[in-house]
Amino acid sequence: MPAKDDPVVIKKYANRRLYNTGTSTYVTLEDLAEMVKRDEDFVVQDAKTGDNITHAVLTQIIFELENDKNGQNMLPISFLRQLISFYGDQMQMVVPSFLEQSMEAFSKEQERIREQMRQTFGTTPMDMMQMGVPMKMIEEQTKRNLEVFQNAMRMFTPMAPTGNGTAAKEEGGGGEAGRDDLNDLRDQIAAMQRKIDSMSRE
C-alpha cells in the first residue's frame, strides 16, 4: 500500500486504457485533468514496462483540451511558435525553469484575485456570475497576466539564431562568449521574475 502522501499510480495499458490503482477503477484523460485541477498528485506508468510516462500523458491532455471544439484554445499561436523555436536551441535548458517560475507567479496572482473576490463579493459562483463588473475585472486581470507572461517569453528573442549565425557566434563563437550569453540571460530571467513578483504584491 502506498503511503498517504505518495502520488496515486495510474497504469496505462497497451489498449490505451488507464487504470487508477488508488480507486481500482478505469479512468479517462478527462478524469486525470480533473485530478490535476483538484491538485491530486499522480504518476502514470506503462503497465508493461513500469516506465514513468507522466510527461507524455499530461502533454496528451493538453493536446486534447486544445483541440476540444466545445472548449477554448488557451495557448496563443505566437506562444506555440516561440516555444517550438526553442527546441534544439542553446537556451533550451533554461526554458523549463523559466516557464515553471512564471506559471507559479501567475497562479499566485490569480489566487490573490480570487481571494479578493471572495472577501468582497461572496463565495458562491452564482454570486460572482450575477455581478458583471467583477467578472470583467477578472477577465482584465487574466488578460494582463497573459500579456506579462508573453512579454517575458519574448525576452529570449534577441538570443535566437539570426541569418548570420547565433548570438554566441557573432560575439566570437568561443565557449566563453556562450557562457557570457547564458549568464546574461539568467540575469534577465531573474529581473523579469522580480518584476512579476512585484506585480503580484501590488
Transcribe 88-103 into DSSP letters.
TSTTGGGHHHHHHHHH
Per-residue pLDDT tens, the chain, 202 aa: give them.
455 678 999 999 999 899 999 999 999 999 999 999 999 999 999 999 999 999 999 999 999 999 887 777 888 888 889 888 888 887 788 888 888 888 888 778 777 777 776 776 565 444 555 555 455 565 665 666 666 666 665 555 444 444 444 444 444 444 565 556 566 666 666 666 666 556 555 5
The domain containing residue 141 runs over which residues? Answer: 77-200
Residues 94 and 180 occupy one common structural domain: yes
Strand stretches in 40-192, DSSP E: 42-46
Residues 60 and 122 occupy one common structural domain: no
Contact 66, 76 (CB under 8 A): no
Instruction: Tell me the Cα Rg of the chain.
Output: 21
Residue 92 pLDDT:
81
Residues 151 and 171 occupy one common structural domain: yes
Residues 21 and 92 occupy one common structural domain: no
Domain membership of residue 71 (yes or no) is no
Residue 50 pLDDT:
96
Residues 44 and 93 occupy one common structural domain: no
Domain membership of residue 1 (yes or no) is no
Among 44, 66, 88, where does a domain finish?
A: 66
Domain count, the chain: 2
Residues 43 and 101 occupy one common structural domain: no
Contact 42, 7 (CB under 8 A): yes
- pTM of the complete model beyond 0.75: no
